[in-house]
Amino acid sequence: MKKKYSINRKGEAMKKMNYSKERLLTRLTSTVVLTVFLLMGSSVNADIDNDKPILIIGASYENGVTPIDDNLFGPFYGAAVNYGSYLSLGDALVRNDQLNGFVINEARGGASVYYREYCGPDSCGFGSWQGYDVQFQKALSRVVIRDPQNPMNILGYNADYLIMGTPTNDCLHAGGVEEPQLVSDQCTTEELNHVIDGYINIAQQAVAIGITPIVAIYPDYNDINWQVFQTAFALPWVINESTYNELKGLFHSRLQVEVPEVLLVEAWDQFKPIGDGLHPDFDSSTNAAKKIVKAMKEHIK
């Protein structure tokens, strides 16, 4: 009888253990389900297609990393803005909790709308930047959907939005034009429009394949500390206020007329620079990302 009683007690103990395991498994399952539900909920609230990446082209506001080749050579020798201690708009969009974190960022610090060599005081050729047109084609190559039966046949692109960098480096400062710094000067109205021509061409290409361009409106001239920036980079000149405002005005008015599909966003209306006087600080980039996400959500409605 003792043996039988022992067996029964062991059976009951096993039942209790199994019951405890079932309860633990149920709790774990419930926790996982709740967590997944909450995560799904945060994505659903975004009202943005969370399976698709955002494409980004531009310059250092969008990506603080300068280009560098296989020989470890490039403009500024491949240095990053603030030695890497910098939150670009592209990184801020990855961090934004209403997006999926999928970003194809082909922007490069120091870039211009057109191909440009780095120009020092007396000469050019110390590394170069690809233009926004090449950046755009590279971004598209990451998301192109090809026909498996005929790879030359493009079925579409896994992207809905293209963020185009503003401000560009074109005409903003010596070294931001294709001339040695000491012989360069403020851009003329014709040269400003030439920059905008290239920008509009890319925006129109995006619209033609069903991708909506998003453009952050230039910050106010006085929000940037031009004197600090000029000193920090030892530049003979930086853009003056009248030329900057002409560039900003032409840029936004022409975009609205020639590419009405573009989303113009006051992303830099709370702009504050880091110590170099030019680049946005952490809060500025974070706020800019929020403004862009809001514009995307309103565009979808």
Listed by start position, the domains of the chain span 1-38, 52-300
Kindly give the pairing relationship between strand 116-119 and strand 124-129.
Answer: antiparallel
CB 58 within 8 A of CB 107: yes
Q: Output the average pLDDT for the chain.
A: 87
Dist. CA 33–CA 175, nearest whole Å: 55
* pLDDT at residue 38 in the model: 34
CB distance 63 to 54 below 8 Å: no
pLDDT for 290 beyond 90: yes
Q: How does pLDDT run across 150-203, given as a tens digit for each residue?
A: 999 999 999 999 999 988 999 999 999 989 999 999 999 999 999 999 999 999
Q: How many CA atoms lie within 13 A of 156 on its CB side?
A: 6
What are the φ and ψ backbone dihedral angles of 80, each rounded to 5 degrees?
Answer: -100, 160
The proportion of the chain whose per-residue pLDDT surpasses 70, expressed as a percent, equals 83
Model confidence over 201-257: pLDDT tens digits? 999 999 999 999 999 999 999 999 999 999 999 999 999 999 999 999 999 999 999
Question: For residue 101, is pLDDT > 90?
Answer: yes
Q: Report which DSSP code applies to 80.
A: B
Q: Is 107:166 a contact under the CB 8 Å cutoff? A: no
Does the pLDDT of residue 44 top 80, yes or no?
A: no
Tokens encoding 62? 């969008």
232: helix, strand or coil: helix
Class of domain 52-300: alpha beta
pLDDT at 3 > cutoff 70: no
Query: 10 or 298: whose pLDDT is higher?
Result: 298
